[in-house]
Structure 1
Amino acid sequence: MISSNLYFLNAPLNYKLTGIEHASLRRFFLFKKSGLSPTIVTLNFSSDLSRIIMFHKITEEHFLNFYRYYQNFNEDHKYDLDDLKCKLINAVFSHVEGVPYDYRVSCSAQYTMYVRCFEKTARISYINYFDQNRRKIRREIYDFTGYKSKEIILFNGKTIQENYFNHKGEIYLTVNSDNDLKHYCLKDRDSIYFFNSELELYRYWLKSIINGPTVFFIDKNRIYNPIVGPIKHRNLKKVSIVHSTHTSNPNEINNNRINYNYKYLLENTEQFDACVVSSSVQHEELLSRFDVSFSTHVIPPSYINNYRVNLDDTINDHFRILSIGRISVEKRHIDMILAMKIVRAFIPQAQLEFFGMGNVDLKKQLEEKIKQEGLEDCIFFKNYSYDIQSELFNSDLTLVTSTVESFCISILDSLEQGTPVIAYDIKYGPSSIIEDGVNGTLVENGNIDKLAQAIIDFYFKHKLNYTKNTKYVMKNYSFNHVSNLWINFLNKLNSEIL
């Protein structure tokens, strides 16, 4: 019987998710489906959290944010442009050309305010106030529910104070800025607390939410490890989820340079109770290279939720290849571009689509390379997709050419949709998921010619068999299998707390 409070310590949630957030949410829904009651925890200030968590189908009782905890905005208190106009009877509101939700406000012919509304609504997002010299002196920020949530006071263009408001309009947090130093004053349960750093502030709050047996699952290690590491509490277990490689390049055998995201963890192992990695290979190398005092466990960061396969060649006859992941150097998009140059000589219809956000300058460089190679008609950059499963289902093949991957959830997502994967054989992820020659191909790391040949062979030799064989991924990544791994792990933790 698992009776612990289960908190997932996360980075800021937005409408678009990073790989870590995607993995954390998949685990969140796995826990819920397994009869557990996890809670997503974030520390960022946002005026749009109510809509964001609703968008991701997270209910209020399963979400905890530092600022919302004190705000207590528990009803819709709508505050829109008409409400502001009623307060400023003689003011003139001028729409800002080219910016659909922004307005300049003049009172007695003097420019005094700049108003922004939430996208596609008339609800006020923030108001900037200006003095007679048109210098910004204050910003009021409003929550989407209509409450005033934050005030920023400026002097000579610099922020000198921030005030945060609750549902009663009372200040619960003040942040004073003195050059590069910040001082925090928090009102909590009729007591006043002072902190000299954001780290101390958040540590106080995270410690205060421990109520009975509690497990902190640390998804964003770089942010949370220095905060929660020093916390000592008899009811608390701290579990680091290692989403990436723990060294800077695990493909280099003697490389012990720690990935900066896990530097605090591996230099302060005595402060943590357990660590979860994605593959047995990473597990073995972590233990062989580092002297860790916490227990280590292998549990994949995702699972097969709804396996489906499309074997209808009349639908998938367009030779559509996808790459899923952020635009960054380590993803080696350039390798895929050069491979497609070779592939097109054998398969003129072949098309490659890149899905993902990332480095704008790198994207421009890649677009220029595509143009130089004369591939504008077959390689395309697509916007972030909120339904990547449908994109994968309606494609033939996925490519992964990263320099390093701890697990690479996009491989599992692809196989879940019956779409085989061709990937460089790097540590640690691809070989943990792909069965070489069965449901995909593992290619020698960095060999562009072999990458291109694997794509060609897929279409001429392997497409039907590889597609049928994507079902074998269920063996190690089914919901039941991954759920049981977590339940066993949690039972062990729970017994240690109790």
Structure 2
Amino acid sequence: MKRTTFFTLNTLGTKRGGLVKAVIKRANTIAAAEPDRHVHLLTLGLQTQINSIREEMVHLHLLDQRVQVTNLIHTLGKQKPNDKQTKARLLKRLQRQFVIFEDASRPENDSYRLFENGVYCQYIRFDADERLVFIDYFSESRHRLKREEYLEHGQLFQVIHYSATTNKPVSRQFLNGDGTCYLTLWHKINSVDWSHLFYFGKHEQFQFNDPAAFYTFALNQLLAQYPAVLLSSEFRDRLPNLPKRNLDAVVLDVTHPNIRKIAFGHSNHFVAPFDETATISGVWNALFKRIGEWSAVVTATPRQATHMKQQFGHDSLFKSIPHAFTNKAAGSLVADAVNPNRFVVVSRIQIKKDVAESVRAMRLIVDHNPNAFLDFYGFGYNDQLEKDLLALIKELALTDHVHFKGFVTDMREAYAGAVATLFTSQSEGFGMAILESMSYGIPVIAYDICYGPAEIIEDRVTGRLIPKGDTAQFAEAAIELMTQPEARQAMGLRAAGALAPFSDQQYETSWVNLLHELDVSTH
């Protein structure tokens, strides 16, 4: 019997980082290879419009039609469509009581402000298909009191109540199709972190003071309907919806009688300096303290699996399956004309990614060639780290040399025609951007870190590996590729031709074999 397979994510969307991309790739691969296996992406975060997200991703060919997408909180309630919440019907009814103004300040959104006797009282938004998304309610002093969020089929799904002083959520109610509440969530004061959850079932009611315990309960409820399941734990982060214990603890506590549990190591498991000389990061404690309870622990590199086995034993548990990136157009793209001044970075602005180091290297590169520039593809979180990066660019007088291009799904736009990709992460689990860049015939200059670069790049053959933190040598390698176009082209061609170990076929075979092992295993 093939186990119904659930790969866990916190949120899903078209604009997500490497971890989400990797899990989607795996789900797509398995669904295509084994059409008789039911494959689910299971999200834990609050995503009301999850069905629309799935539809968009299928339409953009980012998600296989056979992969099901489910939000765990949705599974606890009972839905009921409401066709009265379409734009035309709703506005017609509201016009009897309110004066309605379209919100022209945000033309990308179909939104309206409602006034009653001159007092602003509601704000309404519809999606591109004229379906109601949410309604905000305001006090006479224009403080937001609550928000009602609707599912795509018109059902009121969530009511969010806000603090009158901070405008942050203080509680949420999740509703069945008949309007009854099945779950109430409290936030910590002045925080987005979850603190308490109250479940109102038909025959049972529970209070949870730890969101992790709530998620285990919800998973037990969901998985009980399947005779044999496989459940993954994909991330270790402390999140607002998991502020105390992380996903590893949630998955390990699930009590299904016929379950196999796997953990995937998308990230480095050490603290700084992020190598085998360092101590284990605290977010990995749940995984390693209960190591014998897993059916498999999967890493993207053999080196990380070796380090784990050396410290924790249980050698047979550890599997290494590299990520895959097959670029069908690579053969034609490596011949694209190279702009001798252009470098690229593809990354989130996140502390371990250390994109600020690529900016420091660019200062040295620009000192050699004033026409050199860096195109940055990715996104930040509008946090202090992003502000510090912008300040550094200004401080180093690189404002005209660093161009922020935003998030792209067509990676040719990012890579094609670049001299090289700069990869300055301090810590990785693999480094998908390396594989992507090489598949387009663009060599990568990377620091030799744990994990990924040394497992993918052969120094001076398919790219460059630089001792971590040596900014001057990193910049010298970039300048060398700029000034030696023939050598750079040859390196790019070798890079594109060196990806057989990371092919889709090898990736598919490895995952299908592992799942078959777990289908029949007794642990």
- The verdict on a shared fold, with TM-score over 0.5 as the criterion, is yes
Q: d(CA) in 1 for partners of 2:171 and 2:334?
A: 62
**Map of 1:173 onto structure 2:** 183
Name stretches of at least 5 consecutive residues in structure 1 with no aligned partner.
Answer: none
Shift of 1:298: 0.6
Could you tell which deviates more after superposition, 59-68 or 280-289? 59-68
Q: d(CA) in 1 for partners of 2:350 and 2:229?
A: 37
**Map of 1:129 onto structure 2:** 137
Q: d(CA) in 1 for partners of 2:489 and 2:520?
A: 48
**C-alpha contact 2:174 2:184 (8 A) present in aligned 1:** yes
Shift of 1:123: 3.8
Q: d(CA) in 2 for partners of 1:311 and 1:12?
A: 33
Shift of 1:73: 5.2
Shift of 1:168: 4.3
Shift of 1:269: 1.8
- Aligned-partner SS, 1:330: helix
**C-alpha contact 1:212 1:235 (8 A) present in aligned 2:** yes
Match of 1:151 among 152, 159, 163: 159
Could you tell which deviates more after superposition, 233-242 or 350-359? 350-359
Could you tell which deviates more after superposition, 269-278 or 52-61? 52-61
Shift of 1:137: 4.2
**Map of 1:7 onto structure 2:** 6
**C-alpha contact 1:160 1:176 (8 A) present in aligned 2:** yes
Q: d(CA) in 2 for partners of 1:61 and 1:476?
A: 26
Shift of 1:356: 1.6
Q: d(CA) in 1 for partners of 2:188 and 2:232?
A: 34
Alignment of 1:431-442 (within 5 A): 431-442=454-465
Alignment of 1:67-146 (within 5 A): 67-70=73-76, 77=83, 79-88=85-94, 89-96=96-103, 98-100=105-107, 101-111=110-120, 113-118=121-126, 122-130=130-138, 136-146=144-154
**C-alpha contact 1:164 1:173 (8 A) present in aligned 2:** yes
Are 1:485 and 2:486 an aligned pair?
A: no
**C-alpha contact 1:310 1:418 (8 A) present in aligned 2:** no
**C-alpha contact 1:399 1:422 (8 A) present in aligned 2:** yes
The change in CA–CA distance for 1:497 and 1:75 in structure 2 (over 3 A counts) is farther
**C-alpha contact 1:230 1:271 (8 A) present in aligned 2:** no
**Map of 2:213 onto structure 1:** 200
**C-alpha contact 2:457 2:465 (8 A) present in aligned 1:** yes
- Aligned-partner SS, 2:83: coil
Shift of 1:450: 0.9
Identity percentage of aligned residues:
23
Letter in 1 for 2:199: C
The change in CA–CA distance for 1:326 and 1:61 in structure 2 (over 3 A counts) is closer
- Aligned-partner SS, 1:209: helix
Are 1:357 and 2:364 an aligned pair?
A: no
Shift of 1:492: 1.5
Letter in 1 for 2:123: V
Q: d(CA) in 2 for partners of 1:284 and 1:49?
A: 38
**C-alpha contact 1:279 1:298 (8 A) present in aligned 2:** yes
The change in CA–CA distance for 1:178 and 1:463 in structure 2 (over 3 A counts) is closer
- Aligned-partner SS, 2:204: strand
Q: d(CA) in 1 for partners of 2:251 and 2:30?
A: 23
Shift of 1:323: 0.6
Q: d(CA) in 1 for partners of 2:23 and 2:370?
A: 40
TM-score normalised to structure 1 length: 0.89
Letter in 1 for 2:90: L
Q: d(CA) in 2 for partners of 1:497 and 1:131?
A: 59
**Map of 1:44 onto structure 2:** 45
Shift of 1:132: 5.9
The change in CA–CA distance for 1:192 and 1:401 in structure 2 (over 3 A counts) is same
The change in CA–CA distance for 1:31 and 1:389 in structure 2 (over 3 A counts) is farther
Are 1:186 and 2:200 an aligned pair?
A: yes
The change in CA–CA distance for 1:327 and 1:96 in structure 2 (over 3 A counts) is same
Letter in 2 for 1:233: H
Q: How many residues align?
A: 493
Letter in 2 for 1:124: L
Please tell me the root mean square deviation across aligned C-alpha atoms, in Å: 3.0
**Map of 2:489 onto structure 1:** 464
Encode CA deviations 1:321-350: one digit per residue, 9 max, x unaligned.
111111133333333223223323444443
Name stretches of at least 5 consecutive residues in structure 2 with no aligned partner.
Answer: 238-245
Letter in 2 for 1:470: A
**C-alpha contact 1:177 1:183 (8 A) present in aligned 2:** no
- Aligned-partner SS, 2:414: helix
Q: d(CA) in 1 for partners of 2:16 and 2:163?
A: 36
Could you tell which deviates more after superposition, 420-429 or 321-330? 321-330
The change in CA–CA distance for 1:395 and 1:82 in structure 2 (over 3 A counts) is same
**C-alpha contact 1:217 1:239 (8 A) present in aligned 2:** yes
**C-alpha contact 1:236 1:497 (8 A) present in aligned 2:** no
Shift of 1:398: 0.7
Q: d(CA) in 1 for partners of 2:405 and 2:88?
A: 38
**Map of 2:174 onto structure 1:** 164
**C-alpha contact 1:78 1:123 (8 A) present in aligned 2:** no
Q: d(CA) in 2 for partners of 1:326 and 1:155?
A: 31
